[in-house]
Amino acid sequence: MTLRGRCLCGACGLRVEGEASAASACHCTMCRKSSGHVRASARAPEESVTIEGPVTWFAASESAERGFCPGCGASMVWRGHGEGMVSFALGCLDGDTGLRLEKHIFTADKGDDHEIADGLPQS
């Protein structure tokens, strides 16, 4: 499987070769602030993800960084230091992906503007 995606302005892109997994909706405070709401993403091994263009990396915490487009500000990727995996935003992918959300994470930080009612596991 090959997934491709771009930021809003098209300056940055990504390509994922092989299997992606763990599609989740993250409700943590950092994802809410960087995306404007819930951040839906999936994961793939770092060596299978190619990031194209002038992505800027932001040290979001001592253990992880977020990659975004310096032009339009689109939040595209997240990687934890030493994990060997990259999480990529489902919203930046082009076309059908075959991926489905599997779970909601960091729901204790969820905003009060919505309810989670899809029946997926929550942690």
Q: Round to the nearest angstrom and report the end-to-end CA distance of the chain.
A: 29
* Mean pLDDT to the nearest integer, 69-87: 96
Q: Say how far apart CA 118 and CA 85 lie, in whole Å.
A: 27
Mean pLDDT, the chain, integer: 96
Whole-number pLDDT of residue 1: 85
Distance set, CA 115 to CA 27, 103, 107, 118 (Å): 11, 14, 10, 9
53 secondary structure, DSSP code: S
* Mean pLDDT to the nearest integer, 54-58: 97
| Fold held by 2-109 | 2.170.150
Model pLDDT for residues 2-49, shown as the tens digit of each residue: 999 999 999 999 999 998 998 999 999 999 999 999 999 999 999 999
Lookup: tokens for 32: 């809410």
Domain definitions of the chain by residue range: 2-109
Give which of 79, 17, 25 is closest to 48, Cα–Cα.
17
